Amino acid sequence: MSMSLKHYAVAGIFALSAAVPMAASAADAAAGKAKAAVCAACHGQNGIAQIPTYPNLAGQNEQYLVSALKAYKAKQRNGGQAAIMQGQAAALSDDDIANLAAYFSSLPAGGK
């Protein structure tokens, strides 16, 4: 009998977590926009790179951008322009990273 209670408890936890919406991003896209001026040199004024070898950031998934910037900061991403990005990311706080990700993910992917 205790085994079925355990199953009900586990099922209840999963049901509760599914019913509670994920927390909305607490990041500040406006603060990210202010911080993004230096990014424009490579990634374009509106997150659309003018140089084909640089990635567009506009419309990119917010959590991907957070993960990528944190990986650059921790020097876990290498190759290509990683040395430049590691230097840029080193100066960013976790809030800066979240705000930049919120800003670039809010931009239209097509740049319009």
> Rounded to an integer, what distance in angstroms lies between the CA atom of residue 56 and that of residue 65?
11
Query: What value does the mean pLDDT take over residues 66-92?
Result: 96
Report the pLDDT averaged over residues 71-97. Answer: 96
Whole-structure pTM value: 0.76
Q: Report whether pLDDT(2) > 90.
A: no
pLDDT on residue 110: 82
Task: Give 43 or 80, the one with higher predicted confidence.
Answer: 43
Domain that holds residue 53: 27-106
Helix, strand, coil % (nearest 5) of the chain?
A: 60, 0, 40
User: Is the CB of residue 104 less than 8 Å from the CB of residue 60?
Assistant: yes
What CATH number did the domain enclosing 81 receive?
A: 1.10.760.10
CA distance 110 to 59: 8
What integer pLDDT is reported at residue 26 of this predicted model? 84
Tell whether the model's pLDDT for residue 20 goes beyond 50.
no
- Is the residue at 20 inside a domain? no
- Say if residue 16's pLDDT is above 50: no
Q: How far apart are CA 54 and CA 85, in angstroms?
A: 11
Structural domain contains residue 60: yes
Query: Which uninterrupted H or E stretch holds 70?
Result: helix 62-73
Query: How many structural domains does the chain have?
Result: 1
